[in-house]
Chains A and B, each alone.
Chain A
Amino acid sequence: MPGQPQAAPVKGFFTDTTLCIGCKACEVACKQWNQLPDDGFLFTGMSYDNTAHLGASTWRHVAFIERPAPLHPQNEGAFSWLFSSDVCKHCARAGCLEACPTGAIIRTEFGSVYVQPDVCNGCGYCIVSCPFGVIDRREEDGRAWKCTLCYDRLRADMQPACAKSCPTESIQFGNLEDLRKQARERVEKLHSQGMREAYLYGESAASQPGTEGLHAFFLLVDKPEVYNLPPDPIVPTKTVKDAWTAMAAGALGIALAALGAAFFAHKNGAQS
């Protein structure tokens, strides 16, 4: 692609939700490193999750799922905990990037998706174009914000703050290719240990054709919906041809209506 910086190996996250203990160190580390303001202190009543959702000032969000189903090796009978730290997926085909009319959203040399705050004019189109509900606009600020994959840290050869702070290595950062390999091995290991439910979410274009794969992918043990992840997301531009075709038909319709009305009135009207 023209204008794209010379590619370093593509970087990404592998979030292994079976290792997450719900400590929210990633949420805190992200807020601190990026100097994000709070977004209000809300008591949601949803388990221990008072963060609720990713947004303009929340770039990591830990979901707490209290599930009325058993999970090996949690010995809680018909109950199990699931935790998952959600983040921008840095999609290979990113809805936000393709929708942005100002070119504020770019693909960096690390393959991540980055919003340039000095360009964004806050039109809000990216917000409705992200199939994961990640990017959002802060009202007082007027611009759209999301995870930067710690672009500043990557430039300084450091790993993102969330991965650095994760005490269980539930969040792993690295070269996407290596992460994919590790993740597949991890799934095999879990399967051999009896956790047959384990699978990878969005690790490749083959498993998630709608986004052509995520640069931040997940290991899950239940349906994606349980974690508030879409089961089969599709970047809107994959189907937009239908709408452009309909637009051509609509424009033609206007032309016919206008020509028809003018012609009809001219023929039937008083002579001039």
Chain B
Amino acid sequence: MSTVRYKTSPDPVSTDGRDIDRKIAELAGEAADQQASGAAGKHIEKQAGTWTQLPQPHAADPTYYDRPLLNESVWGWAIPTYYYVGGLAGASLALGAALELQHAAKFDRLIRRCHWIGFLGCCVSGALLVYDLGKPQRFLNMLRVFRPTSPMNVGAWILSGTSGASAAAFFFRQAGYAAGLFGMALATYTGVLVSNTAVPLWNASRKVLPVLFAASAVTSAGSLFELFDQDEDEARVTRAFGSVGKLAEIAASVIAEQHASQVARVGRPFQRGFSGFLWRTAAVLTAGSVVMNLLPRPTRGKRLASGILGTVGSLLMRFALEQAGNASARDPRASFHSQREPLAQ
């Protein structure tokens, strides 16, 4: 990989950004095999951005030219989508196991659906995670160690376990119970994963995010089932399950915002900018969905509306959280203030 520089000069050079003459030098340094195209480092450029206003020195509340302190996450759309899909799969499997306990033939179709959504959700989850890796062909390295200090490593094991158990449930119904237990972990560990970071907004809401993710997973599952053809018994289950999730999701998101806003600068992305807009919209959609659930005289139309609103709402919530975290990572004062004003607890 290389680009041509000084194109208009009589002596253009082709370089990968190292400017090493391979005829006389050997590439043997620690970073010798770092792939580089020779094009400008987009990441640094994006981070540096352009000033719209000259940063003013601020003796009481200084920053380094208002530049970010932290490196913002490199995760793309696949990761918040995975939070949604993994949550959906996990909560479905948990519901499947709970229905199994009732030993009622009328729930058989719903249980099968739970297992299918759980299994397919695990497959899609794996694909999304591999897709987002910088080196997708090395995805199996996730399982070369067991490392409890890394929620991502623990999560890789949880996802493997859930996949296995949900596949087994097609052959032995008893495996559905194991899948349900794994599913509960799958739907919630992602909350620990984002909390366990230096990103001020995520870290400040660490006592709530796993609960928020749990609630959102229940919302996702409840809402998706509402989009299927359902008989009255099935509809009763998913409406009850979904509306509990939706109410809990709204409550948890309010509390998460409160926790983050204990330091004003940290919680700001929840209130302002694009992330704030997504965050509010998600809450409104989820609220709309639960209203559809609780209106008297359930109809098919209300059920579908609830399913769509709830699905979009919980998906949007994951993206809002991702955006809000990135915005707080870009704001050096979010980190500085959160470290200067230690919470009185």
Contacts and interface: CB of A to CB of B under 8 A. Distances in A.
B133 A53 contact: no
B35 A140 contact: yes
Interface in B153-201: 153, 155-156, 180, 183-185, 187-189, 191-193, 195-199
Give the residue among B63, B72, B98 with the most A Cβ atoms within 10 A. B98
Given A138-B35, A142-B35, A228-B69, A103 B144 contact: yes
Given A228-B67, A243-B192, A246-B191, A254 B214 contact: yes
Interface stretch (A17-25, A171-179, A197-205, A257-265): A257-265
Contacts of B27: 35
B44 A40 contact: yes
A268 interface: yes
Given A131-B198, A259-B101, A35 B184 contact: no
11 contacts: A35-B32, A38-B38, A55-B43, A57-B41, A141-B35, A227-B64, A230-B339, A250-B215, A254-B217, A258-B91, A261-B237
Interface of B: 1, 16-20, 27-45, 47-48, 51, 57, 59, 61-65, 67-75, 90-91, 94-95, 97-99, 101-102, 104-107, 132-136, 138-139, 141-142, 144-145, 147, 149-153, 155-156, 180, 183-185, 187-189, 191-193, 195-199, 202-203, 206-215, 217-218, 232-233, 236-238, 240-241, 244-245, 248, 325, 329, 332, 335-336, 339-340, 342
B62 A226 contact: yes
Contact of B102 (A41, A121, A233, A266): A266
Contacts of B133: 121-123, 142
Contact of B184 (A121, A240, A254, A270): A254
Contacts of B31: 34-37, 57, 145
B188 A127 contact: no
Nearest to A259: B98
B102 to A, nearest CB: 5
Contacts of B62: 222-223, 225-226
- Nearest 10 CB-CB pairings of A with B: A122-B134, A142-B134, A40-B40, A250-B214, A39-B41, A37-B17, A35-B29, A37-B36, A228-B64, A101-B153
